[in-house]
Amino acid sequence: MKKVIMQILKALAYFAVYFIPLNVIMFIVQYVYGVMKGREFRAAGIGYEEGLAILNENLGTINEIGLLIASVLILLTFFIIEKVKKTSIVKETDIKKVSGRQIGFTIIGATGGMFFLNFIMSFLPIPQEMMNNMQNGLSNITTSSLILGIVTNTILVPVMEEVVFRGYLFSRLNKAMPSIVAAIISSAVFGICHGGALWALWAFTVGMIICIVRIKSGSIIPGMIFHIIMNGFSTIIGHTTFLENIEKPAFVALTVVGGIMLLVYIGGILLDKTSARDNANATV
């Protein structure tokens, strides 16, 4: 029982290393930006309402900058922690080599997932208010530059979140409870950290899929690839007219085909009895 409690406390401690700096850094970046712009507005004679509108227009860029800084500092903090412990972030988070077949299979599954998990919501009886809240969250990505979005939301954030949620949080919980319970808890926390109810449900679903891949492969590398592709899709469609130019039949076809690809991927992972064994001793 003592070992179980220790693993849960370790999971909470590692999560705190992520959660506290993330929110503090985001607050500082937003506060500093607000103060600087406030001074500019007063000097230029810009009123409160007009100034607030300008701030909101640039909120996406400010959030992306905050996330970029936070992601780098959080990963650096974990690196330093493991150095002090005389181990490595690679070992502690199961950053292990996987086969080219697994990587290719993951790319196919993530491609199906990015269409199915994003498009299926259009066919579900979801209240418009919830859809609007999700769109507002997506707008924070789309109002920044595409390059900043790719660097931050497509690369840094997925890598950092996989290290935290599937690397540290899941692996510690997995030592204290059955894998499925650890997967549900870590995915629920992952979902809650994404905000509103619809975002939380979406992130929970993605988190559970990645946890399955994590369990079966023994590595967080496939999950990183899956996460990068999913986030990259959201970033790119937010900066293009891709969705506006898709006809309804094509939209339906992409959703169905994407769902089939995702199911085949998950099924293949679940039926693959060799992946975790083959990767057990391989590290990058």
Rounded to an integer, what distance in angstroms lies between the CA atom of residue 199 and that of residue 192? 8
| Per-residue pLDDT tens over the stretch 171-200 | 999 999 999 999 999 999 999 998 778 889
pTM over 0.85: yes
- 124: three-class secondary structure by DSSP: coil
Rounded to an integer, what distance in angstroms lies between the CA atom of residue 278 and that of residue 284? 14
Rounded to an integer, what distance in angstroms lies between the CA atom of residue 214 and that of residue 165? 11
**pLDDT score recorded for residue 161:** 97
**pLDDT score recorded for residue 237:** 81
Rounded to an integer, what distance in angstroms lies between the CA atom of residue 252 and that of residue 65? 36
Contact by Cβ (8 Å): 228, 151: no
Contact by Cβ (8 Å): 227, 103: no
**pLDDT score recorded for residue 239:** 77
CA 157 to chain centre: 6
pLDDT, averaged in runs of 10, over the chain (284 residues): 87 95 94 88 83 79 92 96 93 91 91 91 82 68 79 94 96 93 96 87 94 92 95 83 81 94 90 56 45
Q: Which of 166, 158, 164, 148 is nearest to 228 (CA)?
A: 158
**pLDDT score recorded for residue 282:** 44
Q: Which of 152, 174, 273 is nearest to 220 (CA)?
A: 174
Q: Could you identify the residue written with the tokens 């979140």?
A: 161
**pLDDT score recorded for residue 273:** 65
According to DSSP, residue 144 is labeled S
